[in-house]
């Protein structure tokens, strides 16, 4: 099993007490690791985990959820901690909190204040190949137009359909967006968990498509709700988009089920060098929800 970081791969993890011990045997520094900001954890846990991983040599990319930041003073405190730890890239999202805890109701103003505090921070924005359950297509486009001038990359919401991803890439180019795109795909995960998460994540259409395949039907019949075939999806997407000028690589949602990752990591396709600077040539970035 190879634990060397892949140049076209990023792992998304959730802050946890044993993360720093579990990650290195599976995925070594200086690999890119993005750290979620869930409502029940809040940004402080995310910042704490990012500082710890950065000290271990990882390219840590903390998520800061706009609706969970209580004040500009708190934001500045987080940014000072991250800057001192050598963190250079942020993932700025609205977050799943129902209402704002402070002055930010969505990620646009948060990006403005981060850039005003320190233009050196790299930030990115989210993409939704299948739309967003709470936003219209026009609202998503308006939001991306508002944020993209200050962004350096885009990460898609988790998707289970290579067709949907391909159409999304075509749509981005037609609309004139040129941000490098990290394609969000699931790591090893049970079909049962996928179904429970599908509606909340806004990935229902591609999940239904995945369940319609022969392999998925076979998995669905098993009493243990076996694991979704992530490798097959990755190979399919890579076969279609490996040489695309906007394709930056894969953003892997791990759900912290790290012990199931080695087989997937060993089966990843060999990198196809993108036309824009890759993670080894310039500071990469990651972001996800709007």
Whole-number pLDDT of residue 133: 80
User: What are the structure tokens assigned to 225, written together?
Assistant: 């709700």
The closest alpha carbon to 91, from 210, 251, 265, belongs to: 251
The closest alpha carbon to 55, from 100, 25, 87, belongs to: 87
User: What are the structure tokens assigned to 95, written together?
Assistant: 């977050």
Bond before 72 cis per omega within 30 degrees = no
Q: Give the contacts of 261 (CB within 8 A, at least 6 positions apart).
A: 11, 26, 27, 187, 188, 252, 254
pLDDT above 50: residue 216 = no
Whole-number pLDDT of residue 69: 98
Whole-number pLDDT of residue 266: 81
The mean pLDDT of the chain is 83
Whole-number pLDDT of residue 214: 40
Full set of structural domains in the chain with CATH: 9-266 (3.20.20.220)
Percent of the chain with pLDDT over 90: 60
Span of 70-74, 148-152, 161-165, 203-207 with lowest mean pLDDT: 203-207
Torsion angles phi and psi, residue 282, rounded to 5: -150, 165
Q: How far apart are the first and last CA of the chain?
A: 36
Confidence band of 270 (pLDDT split at 50, 70, 90) = low
Residues 97-150 pLDDT 10s: 889 999 999 999 999 999 999 999 999 889 999 888 888 999 999 999 999 999
Mean pLDDT value across residues 240-255 = 92
């Amino acid at each position: 099993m190879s634990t060397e970081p892949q140049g076209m791969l990023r792992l998304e993890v959730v802050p946890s007490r044993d993360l720093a011990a579990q990650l290195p045997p599976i995925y070594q520094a200086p690999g890119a690791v993005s750290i979620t900001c869930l409502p029940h954890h809040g940004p402080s846990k995310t910042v704490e985990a990012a500082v710890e991983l950065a000290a271990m040599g990882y390219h840590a990319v903390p998520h800061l959820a706009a609706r969970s930041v209580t004040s500009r003073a708190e934001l500045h405190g987080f940014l000072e901690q991250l800057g001192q730890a050598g963190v250079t890239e942020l993932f700025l999202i609205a977050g799943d909190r129902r209402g704002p805890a402070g002055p930010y109701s969505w990620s646009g103003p948060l990006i403005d204040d981060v850039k005003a505090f320190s233009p050196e921070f790299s930030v990115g924005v989210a993409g939704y190949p299948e739309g967003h359950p709470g936003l219209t297509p026009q609202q998503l486009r308006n939001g991306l137009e508002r944020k993209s001038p200050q962004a350096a990359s885009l990460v898609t919401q988790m998707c289970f359909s290579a067709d949907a991803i391909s159409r999304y890439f075509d749509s981005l180019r037609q609309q004139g967006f040129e941000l490098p795109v990290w394609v969000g795909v699931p790591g090893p995960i049970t079909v049962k968990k996928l179904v429970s998460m599908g509606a909340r994540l806004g990935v229902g259409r591609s999940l239904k498509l995945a369940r319609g395949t022969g392999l998925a039907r076979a998995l669905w019949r098993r009493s243990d709700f076996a694991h979704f075939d992530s490798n097959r999806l990755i190979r399919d997407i890579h076969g279609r988009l490996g040489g695309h000028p906007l394709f930056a690589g894969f953003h892997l949602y791990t759900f912290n089920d790290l012990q199931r990752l080695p087989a997937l990591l060993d089966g990843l396709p060999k990198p196809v060098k993108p036309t824009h600077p890759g993670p080894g040539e310039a500071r990469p970035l990651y972001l996800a929800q709007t």
